Amino acid sequence: MTSIAVPAPTSSNKLSWVVSDALVMAKRNIIRMSRRPDYVIFSTIQPVMFIVLFNYVFGGAIATGTANYIDFLIPGILIQTVLFGSFNTGVGLAEDLKAGMIDRYKSLPMSRSAVVAGRIIADTLNNAFQIVLMLGVAFLIGFRFHGTPIESLGVPLIALMFSVPFLWVAAAIGVTLKSAEAVQSAGFLWLFPFTFVSSAFVPVETMASWVQVLAENNPVTIVIDAVRGLTYGDPSMSAIWQSVAWSVGLTVVAAALAVDRYRRV
């Protein structure tokens, strides 16, 4: 019988470990999420509740210029939900740092980015699940796509893509603050203005004029406008390209920041 020795790091296998280690950590996080009732509730009941509440409470009061408020609402809710989901990323990482697991991870020959990247992969999958779930529920209460199948497919894809940089920002905050409570508070401070000073729930034209300036330049507005255009079957190519640019740019910056902060823990 022979035993397989632990491979020593070389420049070539280190590169492949960046991916494989992140996947091992992603699997760990997905198992954890599926076994935590608070996560399951956060991921399923909450977004559904928001759709139902917003539609039936605000739906009658907000003049959106279209016949159907729900068609206006769903793109906003999709983005809001995946952005707020980043709370979990920050809190989860802060918990990991606290629980003594981090010393083990840092003493292992694993890739330095894997703890954070694995978390992001798992949360991205969770976001994909939530987006599909929300579209399903929305469909039941009257939401419809008005564009081509490809335009319709763009709706969940852009929503998912735009969630990634926010997960990285939340990860950077999580590994910096290292406390679940502090991450929660910080989340309220940056996520609420970002989401609400945007076209997510009400048309920007109805806001106070100085807020309009902020809302119009908020990447959240740009992304929601792109998603809304695709929903209505009236896509704005410039909004779509700007969404892609924002997503990629923010991800690069936030990921570098998050991994750097993790190394310093």
Partner 1 sequence: MVQAVASAPPRLTARGTTAAATVVVEDVRKSYNDVHALNGVSLQVPQGTVLGLLGPNGAGKTTLVRTLTTLLRPDSGRATVAGYDVVRDAEALRASIGLAGQAAAVDDYLTGLENLEMVGRLYHLPKGEARRRAVDLLERFELSDAGARRASTYSGGMRRRLDLAASLIAYPPVLFLDEPTTGLDPRSRVGMWEVIQGLVDDGTTVLLTTQYLEEADALADRITVIDHGAVIAEGTAAELKRQSAQSVLSVQVEHDADLPEARAILGRLGQQEPHVDEQERRVSVGTDGGSEVLASAVRDLDAAGVRIADLGLRQPTLDDVFLALTGHAAENGGSQDDDADGESARGGV
The CB-of-168 to partner 1 minimum distance in angstroms stands at: 22
Is residue 123 within 8 Å of residue 89, measured between CB atoms? yes
* Residue 103 in contact with partner 1, rule: CB under 8 A: yes
For partner 1, the binding residue among 37, 65, 100, 149 (CB under 8 A) is 100
Best CA proximity match to 162, nearest among 211, 225, 91, 204 = 225
| Residue 159 neighbours by CB under 8 Å, 6+ apart | 75, 78, 79, 82, 127, 131, 223, 227
The CB-of-187 to partner 1 minimum distance in angstroms stands at: 22
Interface with partner 1 in residues 104-163 (CB under 8 A):
104-110, 114
The CB-of-18 to partner 1 minimum distance in angstroms stands at: 12
Using the contact rule CB under 8 A, the part of the chain among 31-39, 40-48, 64-72, 150-158 near partner 1 is 31-39
* Residue 36 in contact with partner 1, rule: CB under 8 A: yes
For partner 1, the closer CB: 25 or 74:
25
| Residue 83 neighbours by CB under 8 Å, 6+ apart | 163, 166, 191, 194, 195, 220
The CB-of-24 to partner 1 minimum distance in angstroms stands at: 5
Is residue 86 within 8 Å of residue 163, measured between CB atoms? yes
